[in-house]
């Protein structure tokens, strides 16, 4: 016979087993169920408020510092190069020999012309003597007037051939002197296109000589900007010059290059910096007063992946993004000037290419943008 106390113990043990089974099943179900998804963090983006003004349109073109006077030198006669007497970067004086070609053939031609001159002198002397004798014979009636005229004509022709022979000798002697290429002015050698043993033609550029005293900036300007170039303020930034240097337009090519369709412009320095060196790169900045209201933004705000430029407008309350098309007026390495934005709106100014219209963002004011 089971006692009441034993029956209660059995009933308690049975309930404990069922409770353990329930806990095990609950643990299994908990382990199999996926974890609760966490909401992704809202990305923070830099924004810049739009301030429209009549600012300057800025364009940067790459140019170079070049001498104002730079000559391409060539031999006035062709031949084989016998000596090159200078190197690139060497300073030379006016009249200093730079290179020499073989002048043996020109010397032979000059010698032959000298012999022809002596023969012409003999003929002219003899013809003049004959003409003088015929003139005396004409006076006493020994010869007729026609014979005297023919002899005088032979004398005049001989005198003309003498002058011609003298000119021919002078020409060939000059060509002999052309075998030596000399510097026309004091300067620095900036280019060499000849070596010993090379054959060069008459008029072929072989040496470039520059006057280093007066330097300027040479830049090729696109066709669209050439018309109003004289109304634009120009500055240059160069290596060795920490500040912008003001420029003055000195010369603008009257026609565009056939290959690049650009106009070559030459700018003089208003106040040349003391460390200015020939050949360094100069970034020419062209600025003009804007004709319409526009806003200047960091270059990272501009989207160029679509057919027309655009920017992201951010709502600082809801975090929503809106793509807004704009018109690009000018662009430099770190700034852009656009039109088409109302005052006060917030433009995403960093990482715009990584955003999408369906995203929510947290706006952070870009330092220095107020």
Residue 52 has pLDDT above 90, yes or no: no
User: 270 or 15: which carries more pLDDT confidence?
Assistant: 270
Look at residue 117 in the predicted model and tell me its pLDDT: 92
Confidence grade of residue 25 (pLDDT, cut at 50, 70, 90): low
User: 24 or 6: which carries more pLDDT confidence?
Assistant: 24
Alpha helices in the chain (DSSP H): 4-32, 104-139, 145-177, 223-226
Closest CA to 221 of 268, 261, 279, 281: 261
The CATH number of 45-55+292-365, from 2.40.128.260, 3.40.50.300, 3.30.450.270, 2.40.420.20, is: 2.40.420.20
* Predicted confidence (pLDDT) per residue in 121-162, tens digit: 999 999 989 888 888 888 887 778 888 888 889 989 999 999
Look at residue 24 in the predicted model and tell me its pLDDT: 61
Look at residue 145 in the predicted model and tell me its pLDDT: 85
Look at residue 39 in the predicted model and tell me its pLDDT: 59
Q: Domain boundaries in the chain?
A: 45-55+292-365, 60-67+214-289, 70-99+179-208, 104-177
Residue 350 has pLDDT above 50, yes or no: yes
Third-level CATH fold of 60-67+214-289: Elongation Factor Tu (Ef-tu); domain 3 (2.40.30)
Top CATH class, 104-177: mainly alpha
Are 58 and 335 spatial neighbours (Cβ–Cβ below 8 Å)?
Answer: yes
The CATH number of 70-99+179-208, from 1.10.10.10, 2.40.50.100, 2.60.40.10, 2.70.160.11, is: 2.40.50.100
User: 228 or 21: which carries more pLDDT confidence?
Assistant: 228
* Predicted confidence (pLDDT) per residue in 231-289, tens digit: 788 888 887 677 788 899 999 999 988 888 889 999 999 888 887 888 888 988 887 66
Residue 2 has pLDDT above 50, yes or no: no
- On the CB side of 353, CA atoms within 13 Å amount to 7
Residue count (the chain): 370
User: 242 or 314: which carries more pLDDT confidence?
Assistant: 314
Residue 216 has pLDDT above 80, yes or no: yes
């Amino acid at each position: 016979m089971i006692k009441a106390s034993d029956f209660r113990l059995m009933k308690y043990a049975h309930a404990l087993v069922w409770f353990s089974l329930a806990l095990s099943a609950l643990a299994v179900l908990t382990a199999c169920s996926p974890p609760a998804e966490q909401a992704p963090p809202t990305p923070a983006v830099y924004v810049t408020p739009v301030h429209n003004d009549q600012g300057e349109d800025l364009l940067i073109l790459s140019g170079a510092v070049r001498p104002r006077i730079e000559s391409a030198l060539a031999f006035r006669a062709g031949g084989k190069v016998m000596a090159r007497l200078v190197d690139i970067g060497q300073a030379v004086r006016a009249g200093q020999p730079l290179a020499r070609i073989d002048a043996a053939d020109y010397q032979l031609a000059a010698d032959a012309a000298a012999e022809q001159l002596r023969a012409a002198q003999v003929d002219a002397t003899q013809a003049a003597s004959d003409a003088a004798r015929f003139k005396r014979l004409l006076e006493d009636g020994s010869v007729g007037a026609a014979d005297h005229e023919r002899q005088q004509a032979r004398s005049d022709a001989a005198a003309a051939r003498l002058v011609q022979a003298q000119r021919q000798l002078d020409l060939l002697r000059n060509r002999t002197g052309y075998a030596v290429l000399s510097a026309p002015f004091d300067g620095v050698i900036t280019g060499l296109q000849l070596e010993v043993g090379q054959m060069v033609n008459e008029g072929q550029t072989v040496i470039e000589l520059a006057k280093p005293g007066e330097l300027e900036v040479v830049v090729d300007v696109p066709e669209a900007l050439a018309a109003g170039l004289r109304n634009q303020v120009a500055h240059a930034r160069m290596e060795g010059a920490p500040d912008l240097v003001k420029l003055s337009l000195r010369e603008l090519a009257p026609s565009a290059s056939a290959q690049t369709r650009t106009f070559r412009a030459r700018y003089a320095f208003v106040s040349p910096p003391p460390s200015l060196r020939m050949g360094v790169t100069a970034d020419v900045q062209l600025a003009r007063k804007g004709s319409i209201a526009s806003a200047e933004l960091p270059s990272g705000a501009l989207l160029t992946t679509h057919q027309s430029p655009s920017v992201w407008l951010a709502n600082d309350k809801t975090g929503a993004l809106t793509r807004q098309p704009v018109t690009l007026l000018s662009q430099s390495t770190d700034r852009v000037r656009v039109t088409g934005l109302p005052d006060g709106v917030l433009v995403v100014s960093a990482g715009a290419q990584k955003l999408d219209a369906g995203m929510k963002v947290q706006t952070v004011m870009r330092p220095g943008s107020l």
